[in-house]
Amino acid sequence: MFGDLFEEDYSSVSNNNGKGKRLKTKALEPPAPREFTNLSGIRNQGGTCYLNSLLQTLHFTPEFREALFSLGLEELGSLEDKDKPDAKVRIIPLQLQRLFAQLLLLDQEAASTADLTDSFGWTSDEEDFLDLTVAVKNVSGLEDALWNMYVEEEVFDCDNLYHCGNCGRLVKASKSAKLRKLPPFLTISLLRFNFDFVKCERYKETSCYTFPLRINLKPFCEQSELDDLEYMYDLFSVIIHKGGCYGGHYHVYIKDVDHLGNWQFQEDKSKPDVNLEDIQNKEEIDDPLMILKAILLQEESNLIPVDQLGQKLLKKIGISWNKKYRKQYGPLRKFLQLHSQIFMLSSDESTVRLLKDSSLQVESDIQRNDQQLFKTFTSESLKLNDGPSCPHWFDINDSRVQPINEKDIEQQFQGKESAYMLFYRKSQLQRPPEARANPRYKVPCHLLSEMDAANIELQMKRAECDSTNNTVELHLHLGPHYRFFNGALHPVVSQTESMWDLTFDKRKTLGDLRQSIFQLLEFWEGDMVLSVAKFVPAGLHVCQTLNGDDLTLCEIEIADGEDIFVWNGVEIGGIQIPTGSDCEPLLLNVLHVATSSEGEECQQLIESSHVFPSNAEIGSVFTALAIPEGVILINNTESRGEENWTTIPKEDLKKTFREQGLRNGSSVLIQGSNDGNSLLTKQGKWINTVNEINWLQVKNLSQLESEEEQVKISATLNTVVFDIRIKAIKELKLLKELAENSCLRPIDRNGKLLCPVPDRCTLKEAGLKMGSSLGLCPGKAPTSSQLFLFFALGSDVHPGTEMEIIVEETISVRDCLKIMLDKCGLTGDTWHLRKMDWCFEAGEPLCEEDAKLKELMICSGDTLLLIEGKLPPLGFLTVPIWWYQPRGPLHHWKDHQDQTNCTLSQGSVWKASSTPGAPSDAHAEVSLWYLGDLEISEDATLGELKSQAMTLPSLEFSIPSPAFLRAWTVESKRPGRLLRVHQQQLKEYKLGKRTEICLEPLQKEENLGPWDVLLRTQMRLPGERAYGPPVDVLWDTARGWTASSLRQRVADVYSLPVEKIEIAKYFPEKFAWLPVSSWNQQTTKRKKKKKQDNLQGAPYYLKDGDTIGVKNLLVEDNDDFGTVQDDIGREKQKELALGKRKSREALRAQSSDVFSGAETPARARGPEASLSIHVRSFR
């Protein structure tokens, strides 16, 4: 892709003064090069997708493109003179020339139309294209539409005679239309967008409309005596619209007439792989030379990256190079180097090419079976192209260009994504042979020079960016210039002379780095070992020896600014060097009692610095200070101003410094056994016992048998997790190999395993409390650049059923989704991810599929949910639409349904059992029929949403206008919030990505004001525990949400005195009624002031759609508002609550086994305090 970009040697060396790590400034990313299709797209400026599709169509019309290029300075002028007052410059054709030249020659993924659109204003009086507009409605296809327009005649006879202008009489006549002259290019516009005069709304025609790849226009022409070839036209471009009549997106299918692009599919699933059955005998498989040559013969130009060569080898023979050939032939790159007469490696060894002599013919000494194998491999690759006559079609979607098959055009015959414009060219138009696969053909010289210069500049910028992004600064510390003392390495002379700075390409291997250092250090003799070193307060420490010369620096995770120690791997100056993180030197502050000249102890403390290996026993402090015995105390606090000393029991003196949680800068106090406490009271606080809980419980979950299931590990908050894990493995008596592939995971109170804890963290950094339970599990903990995620299928997730995955934090949402689908065994592109929120519910979807998980604040331990359904484009909503019948079909709609014999599709229905007399909002009469999904712009209004919903195929009612529909949001399978303003945009409602909407039919138009509240009132039937049919009541709350106002409004509706009614609000989730009284005023205790009764607040929380029960006190005077169904509902709720309580107790008893061995003292619970939260109402 980058050509010869990587053929330079990026290694350079400098003797830098000073240690400091240099911060690299990331270069500005140049435009991406063209992809495998070798075609350039056009960037979308925002709403320019239709323009981009037209421009690409013109660009892939060679005759138009070459005619444009033929216009020179005389006709168009020069862009350099556009600001001169007297100059005549045609800016648009000049910018169009530059754009076409960029699409042909500039090596970038997508071109920009900013300069072209800025220059708009040029118009042309001539058109090279004839635009035919044809109908789509009630027409099966293009040929049918042309037949109706240009073949069938309209006859004037009987009562519809034609008035002749010559004779002045009514005569019989016929009228028809014909095509008089055919152009070389024909544009046909399909009338997809129409207007429904009955519904008074626009709509898009999505029915099936076919069009041929080749069409004969002879039947539609006035002159038909010419040869049939004169009337033949071939399809070469199809502009496609995706969406509805209120918004959408355009892209184009284009036929590459000149074969300028690379029409090959990256993954051809229909092409079978060559397997072992195709190979005649075992000798053919054992010869890697023959296998590699056969693979390279399949590749274009016989060129392939070395990494992909290994992958294709694995795919072809079912076994990797390392397992099959490495032991006998060595590494793959070395094998290719040894056969330089057949293979040619690039200078950076990233790509390999098959030499021409080897690709044209097989050497005479190769067996006949080799030829048979070549034939087997290459015969499949020839099927990619059917020859020069095979049509090359591409899908150009703004910046993205993908090859497609000609049969894919049939998918655009119908649907929301369907053909919008067709472009045909005469079949007799032939292209000259020199234009084939030649993008420079007839491009003006000045544009060729401009594009060549631009490509050189792009290549330089990419090389600069590539060098910046793929090189690392290494600090080489030379072993002969160091000496080992006081537990660490120190330079003999100075840091400047002991360290060299090396800039190196991180894509090269460790062996290449070693070879480069050998060439730089001419004085070096013997073996050379490279190790990662680390600066610690005690000096330089060797952490890890680098192995694997075939691995790149990226693969062994060499970071920018890494310190590399160069030595023989054994000793420095005759002293053996301890290596590894276990023996990292610790610089400690040691305090001990001063000794007089007579050997007696004084009442004075001396502080000195000492270095100890972190894996040494803490009792070695006595040996270092030549103290026979005593007491060791450590300071647990990191701040020197606040000391808190803890004694080390004698049995813990054999523990290491790391196990005791000591780090660089920690303080250790040594006191003789006969000192007493006098000094401690002066120097700080004495704590003669360890904390009440100083252990962790580790349970064996490694699937390996052990003598004990769980053990207690002594620790402090500063103990490193790595040491706890290693000690647990030892005490559980498990295999030592488990230390390389295991991790510790906290266990919550329900027995669920949480995210693994990194080994490098202390307990305090990991947020673990003393007495916690951990599980020793197989598998490594995620690194600092990785994320440990839980994921589950669907939104109904039961604890403990989630799956687990470790991914890089820089992975995109799209790639993460693909990995999770593969792990679930699912396929398809109709899935998306949602992050589980703190309520353990599916949150907002992760819409930005190209965004990295790190950018979206996804952290380790988060749970992602795989939800079925494809996300809508940016700025669009996918809204499920339901049909809502609050009390069965209204008489108006029922009569109409009987007349038209229409029924609603009840493929998905929410409906309870029918119960007469039950409140309509609670039981059977909340019936929701699923109509379908609408994909609509957030900028569309509520009225437009209703209009589009009326066009859903499953809605077979005839609605006069959108004003006859009432829209609700759906919450908990019930109507929730009322959407009242017809002209308000959907984004102003803050619907969110998961909102569902139900539509309720009305008998008359409704126009709700901002203060109108819609309530459903039901009159209680006297003598029965039941209610009559609901009545919609509009309550004007402009003067307040008071109970007296509501009672007055309800009394007016039922023509009853206000003092003779009683009303109550129904709570369907509780099956309970709450009476609404106007005389139960509340007063505050502090000010004795009346509170304004507001039914929006507690305890009523009145809102649109609530059910209000009405009782006529003239015929019934009791306090009961309930129904029989309410009693049944409350009993069912009690049974459900009892069942849940029993299941929780069983789960608690089961999870208590996790903590059965833990003697954790119970914490005393603090006194409970009341909490008051005031939530205001926002409308």
For the chain, what's the residue count? 1179
Residue 968 dihedral angles phi and psi, to the nearest 5°:
-130, 150
Specify the amino acid at residue 55.
L
**What is the C-alpha R_g of the chain?**
41
Whether 554 is a known active-site residue: answer no
H or E element, residue 423: strand 417-426
Question: Packing angle between helix 49-59 and helix 62-69, nearest 10 degrees?
Answer: 80
Active-site residue (options: 59, 241, 245, 249): 249
Specify the amino acid at residue 139.
V
Specify the amino acid at residue 696.
L
Active-site residue (options: 49, 221, 743, 755): 49
Tokens encoding 421 = 């414009």
Torsion sign (Cα): 330, 336, 339, 342? positive
Q: Closest Cα to residue 782, out of 839, 718, 858?
A: 858
State how far the Cα of 98 lies from the Cα of 116, in Å rounded to an integer.
9
Cis peptide before 305 (omega within 30 of 0): no
State how far the Cα of 818 lies from the Cα of 829, in Å rounded to an integer.
9
Q: Closest Cα to residue 305, out of 34, 105, 507?
A: 507
DSSP letters for 221-266: BS---S-GGGGEEEEEEEEEEEEETTEEEEEEEEE-TT--S----S
DSSP letters for 2-61: -TTGGGS---EEE--SS--PPPPPPPPPPPPPP-TT---EE---SS-HHHHHHHHHHHT-
DSSP letters for 464-515: HHHHHHSEEEEEEEEGGGEEEETTEEEESS-HHHHEEEEEEETTSBHHHHHH
Distance of CA 565 to the CA centre of its chain: 41
Residue 728 dihedral angles phi and psi, to the nearest 5°:
-65, -40
Q: How many other C-beta atoms can be found within 10 angstroms of the C-beta atom of residue 940?
A: 20
Distance of CA 313 to the CA centre of its chain: 31
**708 Cβ neighbours under 8 A, 6+ residues apart:** 700, 731, 732, 733
State how far the Cα of 265 lies from the Cα of 455, in Å rounded to an integer.
26
DSSP 3-state assignment of 1066?
strand
H or E element, residue 818: helix 813-824
- In the β-sheet with 1031-1036, what is the strand arrangement from edge to edge? 1031-1036, 1012-1019, 1107-1112, 1061-1067, 1072-1076
State how far the Cα of 580 lies from the Cα of 508, in Å rounded to an integer.
25
Whether 602 is a known active-site residue: answer no
Q: How many other C-beta atoms can be found within 10 angstroms of the C-beta atom of residue 1062?
A: 21
H or E element, residue 1141: helix 1124-1151
**Residue 40, Cβ density class (10 Å: 0-12 exposed, 13-18 middle, ≥19 buried):** buried
State how far the Cα of 1042 lies from the Cα of 1036, in Å rounded to an integer.
11
- Strand 585-595 relative to strand 667-671: parallel, antiparallel, unpaired? parallel
**Are 1036 and 1012 a contacting pair, CB within 8 Å?**
yes
Specify the amino acid at residue 616.
A
Residues noted as catalytic: 49, 249
